Amino acid sequence: MPTHTSNIRAHAAFLVIAGLLSVQGCGGPVSASPAVTSPVAAASSSRPSERVVANSQIDAGRYLVKLGGCNDCHTPGFVETNGAAPAEADWLTGAAVGFSGPWGVSYAANLRLSFQNMTEAEFLELAHEGKGRPPMPWPSLMAMSDSDLRAIYAYVHYLGPKSEPAPAALSPGVTPDRPYVALMPQMPPITPSKANN
């Protein structure tokens, strides 16, 4: 199987698992539900017009962060506790565990610091372009409506700055000096009976 196809499948499997874990970790009912604007409005723009409706923009952003699985990578300890910890006050502070692949090693950013140095317009542009490193699910951000992206931005700003920046990304071939997850498909060992077939 070509390496590119293997990488795509590994990335897709990771996103499915992260999505399933984030849904389990959300816990409790949320006061937001999807709403769709008119098809005429949707046809007039290249950006999606669907948006989450909630009691406030902050509530919508919180819901989207939970549903989008942002905590799975950007909140240390979240996946390991199935979303039971840490408390919301400690969400999205980045992680020192890297993700290694053909792109090098990437680290989930401390969004609470990153967003403090980024305007809403800059965040929308970043989300629209989707040109960052894996395993960030850029296609998911690119598919979001501007209304939902603004809600995420507002929510992260609402949380405020906290903690330290995540480690800098490493180039391909550079060995990390801290824990990392290898996102490379592994072939099973060939046993003598399989080799003869």
Domain boundaries, the chain: 3-195
pLDDT at 194: 62
Phi first, then psi, for residue 195 (nearest 5°) are -65, -30
Distance CA 143, CA 128 (A): 8
pLDDT at 49: 75
pLDDT tens, the chain, 197 aa long = 444 444 444 444 444 444 434 433 343 344 444 443 434 333 335 667 788 889 999 999 999 999 999 999 999 999 999 999 999 999 999 999 999 999 999 999 999 999 999 999 999 999 999 999 999 999 999 999 999 999 999 999 999 999 999 999 999 999 999 999 999 888 898 887 766 66
What 3-state DSSP class applies to 108? coil
Quick one: tokens of 38?
Answer: 């008119």
3-state percent helix, strand, coil for the chain, nearest multiple of 5:
45, 10, 45
Listed in sequence order, the residues at least 6 apart from 98 whose beta carbon sits closer than 8 Å to its beta carbon are 105, 106, 107, 167, 170, 176, 178, 179, 180, 181
* Total H helices, total E strands in the chain: 9, 5
Cβ atoms of 115 and 162 within 8 Å: the answer is no
Judge if the upstream peptide bond of residue 172 is cis by omega within 30 degrees of 0.
Answer: no
pLDDT at 126: 96
Please name which of 61, 97, 62 lies closest in space to residue 76, comparing C-alpha atoms: 97
Integer-rounded Cα Rg, in Å, for the chain is 19
Output DSSP code: residue 44. Answer: T
pLDDT at 78: 96
* Strand ranges across the sheet with 104-107: 104-107, 98-101, 180-182
